Amino acid sequence: MSIKVFLVDDSPVALIVLKRILNSSAEIEVVGTAHTAKEALALIPTIKPDVICTDFHMPHMDGLEFTQEIMANCPRPILVISTAVQREDTYNVFQLLNAGAVDVFPKPKNGLLNENSQLAQDLIRKIRILSGVRVFTRRNRSSESPRRVNSPANLPASSTSISTSSLISKPIRIVGIGASTGGPQALHTILTQLPANLSVPIICIQHISEGFLQGLVNWLNVQCSLSVQIARNGEIPQNGIVYFAPERYHLEIDRQGRFLYSSAPPLAGHRPSITVTFQSLARYYSDRTVGILLTGMGRDGADGMAAIAQSNGITIAQDEASSVVFGMPKEAIALGAAHQILAIDAITSVLLQHIERRHPQHLKANDRGSKNI
């Protein structure tokens, strides 16, 4: 059965190009198009597409209001396809993700884009992924209690053995967070709950279409008490700052504790790779590391979680019920590399408990303070 896609864009050229690209795949069928959000809202409940693609800028009703209406009345996976070249545009795009859209993708700039081009193939792959995701409205996220910490006695036979002594050992010095599909929303949930006086730096690796990273960082920087920025090559991580791995480079920590951009080949198709960063954190910070692996397709980050666990660091995987795509966390769990498996709403409080246990004099969980700029 083909994946049914509905396209919403006020540009006739964009609709033609997108329709041609998607219909070039035997797995995908464009079942409807609309030039306005209101027109789309009238058609979608009857057509019942598997995936909706929309731009932000549309007449009469913009993409944000459209997304809110869809999520309230007939929730479907929504892919935001946008040029997003201006700062305010990228901020708006991530407002759509916060409202329930799943992912973002750059709008093809060339009306003659070949169906076999890399961008076209990336779009087709993105649609395949979205057709199988779990859709969340803003208020139906799971808030299950934390599961018990794994011990060697209750791990599967094929799992990596993990020591839990790290839970009561040296102070935490770094937190690494990896995410893919559904990651911007999950990161928003975690990071907006953290206090401005956090006693450790956080390094985030987010798989995202090229051109949207700065917009994600800008959006989170406005939303969070912590300062959020892209890591700079040669910089030393500072407490209370959230750093994102840059586009096109792996992010590592060198022997002097500084950020190191690496142009080594992609790992499992990704650069930056979550595993590359996590392995680097495990080498440099050892048992003073917390690794968190969030929603996403594939297995990037699983081996990195294992490296942190084997170094006696703390590892947390997002649970299936709250993951948009339960791929990367599932792979880490299968390796026995997750000390704790938590709903997204529980991760921040547990992380703060781990940090406070190791830094009791430095952190008051309820003190959000003001952003350090």
Q: What is the pLDDT of residue 88?
A: 63
- 187-233 residue pLDDT tens: 999 999 999 999 999 999 999 998 899 999 999 999 999 999 999 99
Nearest residue to 137 (alpha-carbon basis) of 99, 102, 95, 180: 99
CA triple 184-90-140, angle to 5 deg = 35
User: Mean of the pLDDT values across residues 304-329?
Assistant: 98
| 198-208 b/e (C-beta count within 10 Å ≥ 16 → b) | bbbbbbbbbbb
Question: Does 255 score more than 90 pLDDT?
Answer: yes
DSSP 5-25: EEEE-S-HHHHHHHHHHHHTS
| Predicted pLDDT of residue 90 | 77
Would you give the DSSP letter of residue 251? Answer: E
Residue 259's DSSP bridge partners are 253
Q: Which residue shows structure tokens 């026995």?
A: 336
Q: Report pLDDT digits (tens) over 147-180.
A: 433 433 333 333 333 444 445 468 999 999 999 9
Spell out the domains of the chain, with CATH numbers in brackets.
3-130 (3.40.50.2300), 152-358 (3.40.50.180)
Please give the pLDDT value at position 269.
94
Contact (CB, 8 A) for 323 and 134: yes
Catalytic residues: 180, 207, 300
Residue-wise pLDDT tens digits, 59-116 = 999 999 999 999 999 999 999 998 865 566 778 889 999 999 999 999 887 555 666 6
Confidence of residue 140 (pLDDT cuts 50, 70, 90): very low
Percent of the chain with pLDDT over 90: 76
Which helix (H) or strand (E) segment is 354 a member of?
helix 344-358
Instruction: Report which DSSP code applies to 270.
Output: B
pTM of the model: 0.87
**Contact in structure between 292 and 172 (CB atoms under 8 Å):** no
| Angle subtended by helix axes 87-99 and 213-223, to nearest 10 | 70
DSSP-derived 3-state class of residue 264 = coil
